[in-house]
Amino acid sequence: MRPSALLVPACGAVASCSSSSSDRHGAVNAGGPKMIIENDWNAGAAPQFLMALDYGWDILGLIGDTSNSWALQCSLHALALLEIGNLSSCIPVHKGADYPLLMTPKLMQTWERIMGPLPWEGVFRPQNDTAEALGSDPTDGDPARIVKAAFTEGYPNTTLAGYHAAAWMIEQVHKYPGEVVIYSGGALTNIALAIRMDSDFASLTKGLWIMGGFVDTNGLMISGDTMQADINTDFNFKADPEATKIALSADFPNITLVSNAANAPELFPTDALLAEVAEVRNPYTILQQKVTQTNLPFWDEATMLSLVDPSTIMNQTSFYVNVDTSFYSPTYGNIWAYQEALAPSRQTLREVNFVWQINGTAFQTALKRALQSPKTCP
């Protein structure tokens, strides 16, 4: 996920965000298929959970992870987005790990000096107090730092359900074995932690659905400006390469990657589409028109649609996948795809589903419906 350009003010946030119960008071879609949504939330991210709710899914909770900003800031965005739509009482938010497994801002900045700068650095970008004062989410520095100016949606009055997302995910899949799909739109740190904490975790889920895993994009990265390189970088995976390797090697019943497909022209926001959405005025449509950047595709939303409505997948394939975890490699964190006949024999690699194309017309219809007629807690 990419931060919105304008994202408002921390409560004694850390203190007040530690006391809430994780119990849900009802569910929007009780009895529906179950999902946990993990992401590096920002002010423009509400369509993801709104689309899942619109399609009848029971969201057990949201997780904020470190990728484009720090996990605490992202978790507070999730709280705020739920609050403006009367969803706080039935969807809890759990904070993920502060840091990736190995990567830190200093380490990433060192890697960039050796291998070349990333067009998008996310949380690893050197701290910029001027940008943060103007509404950017925090990067670098203290992971407990909260930038209130980034909360265009309003700073949350509700509190986090917990601070150990990996442990909470493990509890949920044991409570609902074989029923919970894990959706990841950010780094895979918390999923990797859950895998290492409980060897049964992956197999007890219903599957893993990921926004990330670009293939054959190096040529695209040199064929335009740095924004063209940016949207083909695969930052979600590069933010925590080791976690990506662990997650893509685990025994999930199935793993699906959506990446290249989400860069299709029809999955970019346009002023016309945003104006259509805003024809119905509610907190979500007003916010979306305010914060959406038209130069970035709806990566996470398109990925979500392919999960909740597989009929919108127009082209897909499967292959075996590996992850480059060599620090001294320009493709550190990127995947490598194999057909079965050429897969390495001394590694246990997983076969994954890979979505090539998503129906853009269906996507726009689903996006408008979810934003214009949002579900609320019972």
310 domain residue, yes or no = yes
| Structural domain for 29, as ranges | 13-372
363 domain residue, yes or no = yes
22 domain residue, yes or no = yes
In degrees, rounded to 5, the angle at the alpha carbon of residue 260 between the alpha carbons of residues 375 and 37 is 30
Which residues are CB-neighbours of 363 under 8 A, at least 6 positions away? 266, 267, 298, 301, 302, 305, 312
6 domain residue, yes or no = no
CATH number, domain with residue 302: 3.90.245.10
With CA atoms as reference, report the closest residue to 288 among 88, 42, 62, 69: 42
pLDDT < 50: residue spans in the chain:
3-22
What tokens appear for 215 in the block? 């293939």
255 domain residue, yes or no = yes
**Structural domains counted in the chain:** 1
261 domain residue, yes or no = yes
Residue type, 368: K
Q: Are 252 and 338 within 8 A, CB to CB? A: no
Query: What is the model's pLDDT at position 304?
Result: 99
What tokens appear for 359 in the block? 């129906």
Chain centroid to Cα 210, Å, comes to 8
Question: Strands 313-323 and 207-211, how do they pair?
Answer: unpaired
378 domain residue, yes or no = no
The pTM (predicted TM-score) of the whole model is 0.93
